[in-house]
């Protein structure tokens, strides 16, 4: 006879845990009180023994009341300590004992703090270097690059465009490589390579050389952002992901602010060693990236199971917690199979998320590339323009963090993705309507509105997509696919802001406004469809689902499992 030691109701929101002792509630409550005291005075090892004892005792009480029931076997006890096999569906593969993980908030907070201080700074620094290396060409332009290489506006735009082609197309293969190799090894390889390419970019002498440098920079940087985004899902639960992604993504806004200051300083090296200031912008940035890449093997670990700053008991607890969270750390037993790519390609959620993502990439990449030029068009010198980009990015950074914290706190993604786009849409509309040669102060202020409206949704839409993809292979490929197609928007972005239209940029602002409106519509559409699917799944009880599917089948269904609830 199959006997459940603990029963479990599937949560309506990710990250919500509930456990109920089926036949010994008083014992369970006593256990919880004991756990609270243990946290302040005893080792975590004692806590695990207490959990084991309580589970074992509850089972024996049940079996004692059933003369036909066998005693709890050691294999079953081991299953209790192993934790759940199908994450939110708390039953093991043998089917003898169904258990549920009991989370300890204080211990979780303690362990997450360890992870935060070791993982987030590394990813943030790498993304800072990545974003600066790709976007510094805008700063180099006003420092004399275009004039020194005798580039036409069309040729310069082609140098911007060529970066995004390999950058976008190689992101899915790159995340497959991340899964096949170790994250630490993969990040080391690509960081050293793009640092070397960036350094050599400072030595180009003509259009073809710059074009080749930008192409290979796109090749080598392609793997970083999807890899870093997926790595975060290996460590954090659904309702913790966006805040951490915001800290990591703030490197992009910091890059915008820091790039202006850094480019200003490096441009003062004009003539040093017989090199122009714009060349030093490329060379110094590239060398710094190489230095950072050398240290990656010593400052990163490949996953929670390799974290040597956890005790064995803490590691077991942390891994079990991620496993229970269903889509934020469950580890597939299988290697790569082509079916995972097929699942991602046929998932409508990913394609709608990509449309939303375009609301950031098409206007956003163009905005970054032309911001210094736009500010010089307001009557400021090139050096003043470099400095005046800083407040714009700092304001965006603050809003990214605030909105991400609120999104995780309320466990909602759509409001913090859709509504910020209204700000950027309003900003583009005003820029189109406002005369370019009047009210430079007001026009500069509108740039703040645009930046906030563009930067906030990116973190949210990537987190939203990750939260709603189950199975680590599908999540890895699905996230990379979203970022791949989304970043193809960069190809358009580098060609919609036409130099002959400066500083009005009618085409650029008009296309950006249209794409932003489409992203808003796609956001409401995705939220509506996910709401309908959740309501349909609520109509079917867990008992009915389990009567129809085995645990293995539910695990294979992933986010199509009737017990899975989409994050809205």
pLDDT of residue 30: 44
Asked if the model's pLDDT at residue 82 lies above 50, the reply is no
Q: How far apart are CA 327 and CA 323, in angstroms?
A: 8
As a whole number of angstroms, the distance between CA 500 and CA 97 comes to 71
Q: From the centroid of its chain, how far is CA 253?
A: 15
Given a cut of 60, whether residue 218 has pLDDT beyond it is yes
pLDDT band (50, 70, 90) for residue 334:
low
Token code pair at residue 266: 């490096």
Q: Which residues pair with 6 in a beta bridge?
A: 21
In this prediction, residue 253 carries a pLDDT of 64
Half-sphere exposure in the Cβ direction for 97 (13 Å, CA)? 29
Cα separation, 45 vs 166, whole angstroms: 50
pLDDT at 335: 59
Q: Is the pLDDT of residue 27 over 50?
A: no
Q: How far apart are CA 310 and CA 114, in angstroms?
A: 9
Reported as a single tens digit per residue, the pLDDT across 507-535 is: 999 999 999 999 999 999 999 999 999 99
pLDDT for 283 beyond 90: yes
Query: Do 542 and 9 meet the contact criterion of CB atoms below 8 Å apart?
Result: yes
Quick check: 403 and 416 in contact, CB under 8 A? yes
Average pLDDT of the residues of the chain: 78
- What CA–CA distance (Å, rounded) separates 92 from 511? 53
How much is the average pLDDT of 534-547?
88
Band the pLDDT of 101: cuts 50, 70, 90.
Answer: low
Residue 7 bridge partners (DSSP): 20
- How many CB atoms are located within 10 Å of the residue 563 CB? 19
CA dist 271 and 278 (Å) reads 10
Residue 257: what pLDDT? 67
3-state secondary structure of 23: coil
- What is each CA distance from 225 to 174, 248, 482, 484, in whole angstroms? 10, 10, 11, 10
Comparing 33-42, 94-103, 235-244, 377-386, which segment has the lowest mean pLDDT?
33-42
pLDDT score, position 449 = 93
**Is 86 strand, coil or helix?**
strand
Q: Which of 45-49, 104-108, 147-151, 425-429 has the lowest mean pLDDT?
A: 45-49
Average pLDDT over residues 237-248: 85
Three-state SS string over 476-500 comes to HHHHHHHHHHHHCHHHHHHHHCCHH
C-alpha count within 13 angstroms, C-beta hemisphere, residue 63: 18
Mean pLDDT of 101-105: 79
What's the whole-model pTM score?
Answer: 0.68
């009618």: which residue's tokens?
506
Q: What pLDDT, in 10s, does the model give residues 173-202?
A: 888 888 888 899 999 999 999 999 999 999
Model confidence at 80: pLDDT above 50: no
Over pLDDT 70: what percentage of the chain?
Answer: 79
Give all domains of the chain, ordered by start, each with its CATH number: 6-102 (no CATH), 106-327+343-538 (1.20.1250.20)
pLDDT band for position 138 (cuts 50, 70, 90) = confident
Q: What is the pLDDT of residues 472-507, one digit of tens each?
A: 778 888 888 898 888 888 778 878 888 788 778 889
Measured CA angle at 123 (ends 287, 482), to 5 deg: 110
pLDDT tens per residue across span 286-296: 999 999 999 99
Determine the Cα–Cα distance for residues 318 and 235; give it in Å rounded to an integer. Answer: 9
pLDDT value at 96 more than 80: no
Gap between the Cα atoms of 554 and 381, Å rounded:
62
* Residue 77 confidence (pLDDT) above 80: no
> Is the pLDDT at 331 greater than 50, yes or no?
no
Highest-pLDDT range among 19-33, 37-51, 194-208, 264-278:
194-208
- What is the CA angle 413-233-194, rounded to 5? 110
Predicted confidence at residue 230, as pLDDT, reads 87
Q: Are 426 and 449 in contact (CB under 8 A)?
A: yes
Cα–Cα nearest to 520, from 412, 392, 408, 423: 423
Residue 206 scores a pLDDT above 50 = yes
**CA 564/CA 14 separation, integer angstroms:** 9
Residues forming a β-bridge with 86? 89
Query: Does residue 349 or residue 70 have the better pLDDT?
Result: 349
Q: What is the pLDDT of residue 333?
A: 53
The H-or-E segment that residue 20 falls in is strand 20-21
């Amino acid at each position: 006879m199959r006997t459940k030691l603990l029963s479990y109701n599937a949560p309506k929101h990710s990250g919500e845990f509930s456990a109920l002792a089926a036949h010994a509630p008083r014992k369970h409550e006593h256990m919880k009180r004991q756990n609270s005291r243990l946290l302040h005075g005893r080792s975590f090892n004692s806590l695990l023994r207490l959990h084991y004892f309580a589970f074992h005792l509850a089972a024996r009480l049940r079996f004692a009341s059933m003369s036909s029931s066998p005693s709890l076997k050691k294999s079953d006890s081991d299953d209790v300590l192993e934790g759940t096999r199908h994450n939110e569906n708390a039953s093991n593969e043998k089917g003898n004992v169904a258990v549920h993980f009991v989370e300890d908030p204080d211990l979780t907070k303690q362990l997450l703090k360890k992870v935060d201080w070791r993982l987030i700074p590394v990813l943030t620094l790498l993304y800072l270097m990545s974003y600066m290396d790709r976007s510094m060409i805008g700063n180099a332009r006003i420092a004399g690059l275009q004039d020194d290489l005798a580039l036409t506006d069309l040729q310069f735009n082609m140098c911007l465009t060529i970066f995004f082609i390999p950058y976008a197309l190689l992101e899915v293969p790159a995340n497959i490589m991340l899964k096949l190799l170790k994250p630490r090894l993969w990040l080391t390889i690509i960081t050293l390579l793009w640092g070397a390419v960036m350094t050599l970019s400072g030595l180009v002498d003509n259009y073809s050389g710059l074009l080749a440098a930008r192409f290979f920079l796109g090749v080598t940087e392609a793997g970083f952002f999807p890899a870093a985004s997926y790595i975060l899902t290996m460590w954090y639960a659904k309702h913790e992901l966006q805040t951490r992604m915001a800290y990591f993504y703030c490197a992009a806004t910091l890059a915008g602010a820091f790039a202006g200051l850094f480019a200003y300083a490096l441009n003062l090296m004009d003539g040093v060693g017989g090199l122009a200031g714009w060349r030093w912008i490329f060379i110094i940035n590239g060398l710094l990236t190489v230095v950072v890449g050398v240290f990656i093997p010593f400052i990163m670990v490949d996953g929670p199971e390799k974290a040597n700053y956890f005790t064995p008991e803490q590691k077991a607890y942390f891994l079990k917690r991620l496993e229970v969270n269903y889509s934020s750390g469950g580890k597939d037993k299988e290697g790569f199979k082509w079916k995972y790519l097929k699942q991602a390609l046929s998932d409508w959620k990913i394609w709608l998320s990509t449309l939303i993502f375009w609301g950031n990439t098409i206007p956003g990449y163009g905005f970054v590339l032309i911001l210094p030029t736009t500010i010089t068009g307001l009557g400021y010198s090139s050096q003043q323009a470099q400095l005046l980009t800083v407040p714009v990015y700092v304001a965006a950074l603050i809003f990214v963090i605030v909105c991400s914290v609120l999104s995780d706190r309320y466990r909602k993604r759509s409001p913090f993705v859709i509504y910020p786009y209204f700000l950027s849409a309003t900003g583009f509309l005003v820029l189109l309507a406002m005369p370019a040669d009047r009210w430079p102060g007001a026009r500069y202020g509108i740039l703040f509105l645009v930046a906030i409206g563009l930067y906030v949704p990116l973190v949210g839409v990537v987190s939203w997509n990750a939260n709603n993809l189950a199975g680590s292979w599908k999540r890895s490929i699905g996230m990379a696919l979203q970022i791949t197609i989304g970043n193809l928007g960069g190809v358009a972005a580098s060609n919609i802001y036409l130099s002959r239209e400066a500083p009005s940029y009618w085409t650029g602002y008009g296309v950006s406004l249209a794409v932003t409106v489409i992203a808003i519509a796609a956001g409401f559409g995705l939220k509506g469809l996910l709401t309908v699917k959740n309501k349909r799944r609520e109509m079917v009880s867990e008992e009915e689902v389990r009567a129809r599917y085995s645990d293995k089948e539910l695990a294979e269904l992933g986010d199509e499992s009737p017990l899975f609830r989409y994050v809205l």
